[in-house]
Structure 1
Amino acid sequence: MRRLRTGKGISQTQLADLAGIDRSYISRLERMIENPSVAILDKISLALDVTTAELFVPPGEEATNPSPLRAGRPRTRSAGSAKVKGV
């Protein structure tokens, strides 16, 4: 799944948004920690514009691990870091 996602230049966050599932769940799927339902596989395949069967195709022997996308995960501001106007 990661190979297909990164090949299309889609981040985990973007895939999660497109599929309507949590980004951390995408991460756990890619690390093979979770076992998805058929419904989740359908959502992911639609978001990636591939058939569900393509999610099960193992990479060839010459395939290398995909590199992380350049932007990485977006950073979020902590609640205490917001600036208050006039202070």
Structure 2
Amino acid sequence: MKGRALVAWNLRRLRVERGVSQERLAADAGIDRAYLGGLERQAENPTVDLLDRVAAVLNVPMAELFVTPAPGDAPPKPLPGGRRR
């Protein structure tokens, strides 16, 4: 798996595990929500500084964004859509 794919996989995995929306994570990291969505779709190429900010917001070491999934791991599912009450 290439670097951009690893970041996309782990970013979504960590975000979903914590129950954080793209909108909230983007706001806390100081980036646009559409850009964050692009990261998760492998459409954007993030800088090290941006990955450092995102990891800090998720409260994980930046290396956690580069963890290789185990063979057979299913891709992380997105959070349910819509606003929370």
Q: Would the TM-score normalized by the shorter structure come out above 0.5?
A: yes
3-state DSSP of counterpart to 1:36: coil
The alpha carbon displacement at 1:69 in A equals 1.1
Report the counterpart of residue 25 of structure 1 in structure 2: 35
Letter in 2 for 1:37: T
The alpha carbon displacement at 1:73 in A equals 5.0
Of 45, 69, 72, 1:62 maps to 72
CA RMSD of aligned residues (A): 1.3
How many residues matched? 73
Q: Which runs of 5+ in 2 are unaligned?
A: 1-10
Structure with the higher fraction of residues in helix conformation: 2
Question: TM-score by structure 1 length?
Answer: 0.76
Report the counterpart of residue 48 of structure 1 in structure 2: 58
Q: Which runs of 5+ in 1 are unaligned?
A: 75-87
Q: Structure 1 segments of 4 or more deviating over 4 A?
A: none
Separation in 2, partners of 1:39, 1:73? 30
Separation in 2, partners of 1:16, 1:52? 16
Q: Percent identity?
A: 49
More relative contact order in 1 or in 2 (CA 8 Å, sep 6+)?
A: 2
Q: Is the 8 A contact 2:12 2:78 kept in 1?
A: no
Letter in 1 for 2:63: A
Question: TM-score by structure 2 length?
Answer: 0.78
The alpha carbon displacement at 1:67 in A equals 2.0
